[in-house]
């Protein structure tokens, strides 16, 4: 494994980033943000004709989530959030499908709550500006089941124009560390994996996934994790600005 001292990546044409906890950060609060988002979905639904207790709704939501993500072979899949929500409602007697306007609007309610806690790393835009001006292609590869919401956050926080490609797992039903999602982004850029570097914060998902397709890797260490060393990133940094020293 490399280090950020006196070493550089060579023959790189593209830099690809994870989104959440890499370019976009999430505020630390006492309450579970995911739970607050689900409750906001419930509040929207209950105000629009879904008459059921939160406990019944939450139980169905949890059961469906478990069915989707914990069934054999599903660990690399990412069904759209609306599929999960529609099944949640169907299980408690409400006949809505994933394309229903009510379900789509409920997904927006989830994002409205989540967006309150998301902010841009202050070093993100200066880094992206420098990378683009140096001639590198750029992109984002993100695991997220509401791709429209992720794209909106990218736009709102001013980084869309610095990205040549954006691949969100919920759009293609494949999530990191699946090779397919990395290959999709590389193909969009027309860059070979050996000439691309992936920057992310999760060792087993971001780093191991990118390494499997032949990309170079930089782990941005947002927290202490046992798997950091096991994933063997090429470089470890503690902030985005350190990445410039490697290119």
Q: For tokens 């004709």, what's the residue?
A: 49
Give me 90's structure tokens. Answer: 């169907």
Strands of the sheet containing 14-17, edge to edge, are 165-168, 137-142, 14-17, 196-200, 216-220, 235-237
pLDDT along the chain (247 residues), means of 10: 60 97 92 95 97 97 91 86 97 96 98 98 97 96 98 98 97 95 98 98 94 96 71 91 91
Q: What pLDDT score does 228 carry?
A: 61
Q: What pLDDT score does 222 carry?
A: 85
CA distances in angstroms from 200 to 16, 52, 81, 86, 237, listed in the order given: 9, 40, 23, 31, 10
Task: Provide the pairing of β-strand 196-200 with 165-168.
Answer: unpaired
Does the domain formed by 14-26+120-246 have CATH 3.40.50.300?
Answer: no
Q: What pLDDT score does 104 carry?
A: 98
Q: What pLDDT score does 45 carry?
A: 98
Give me 180's structure tokens. Answer: 């397919």
Q: What pLDDT score does 75 carry?
A: 82
Q: How far is CA 86 from the centre of its chain?
A: 22
Q: What pLDDT score does 30 carry?
A: 78
Confidence (pTM)? 0.91
């Amino acid at each position: 494994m490399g280090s950020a001292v006196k070493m550089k990546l060579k023959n790189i044409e593209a830099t690809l980033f994870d989104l959440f906890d890499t370019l976009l950060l999430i505020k630390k609060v006492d309450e579970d943000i995911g739970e607050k988002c689900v409750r906001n979905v419930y509040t929207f639904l209950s105000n629009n004709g879904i008459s059921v207790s939160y406990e019944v709704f939450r139980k169905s939501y949890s059961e469906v989530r478990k069915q989707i993500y914990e069934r054999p072979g599903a660990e690399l899949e990412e069904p759209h959030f609306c599929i999960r929500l529609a099944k949640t409602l169907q299980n408690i007697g409400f006949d809505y499908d994933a394309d229903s306007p009510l379900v789509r609007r409920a997904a927006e309610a989830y994002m409205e709550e989540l967006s309150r806690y998301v902010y841009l790393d202050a070093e993100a835009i200066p880094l992206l500006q420098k990378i683009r001006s140096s001639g590198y292609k750029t992109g984002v590869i993100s695991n997220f089941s509401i791709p429209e919401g992720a794209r909106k956050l990218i736009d709102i926080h001013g980084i869309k124009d610095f990205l040549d490609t954006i691949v969100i797992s919920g759009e293609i039903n494949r999530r990191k560390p699946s090779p397919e999602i990395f290959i999709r982004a590389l193909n969009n850029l027309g860059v070979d994996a050996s000439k691309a570097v992936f920057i992310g914060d999760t060792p087993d998902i971001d780093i191991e996934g990118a390494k499997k397709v032949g990309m170079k890797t930089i782990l941005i260490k947002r927290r202490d994790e046992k798997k950091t060393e096991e994933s063997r990133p090429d470089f470890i940094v503690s902030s985005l600005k350190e990445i410039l020293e490697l290119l």
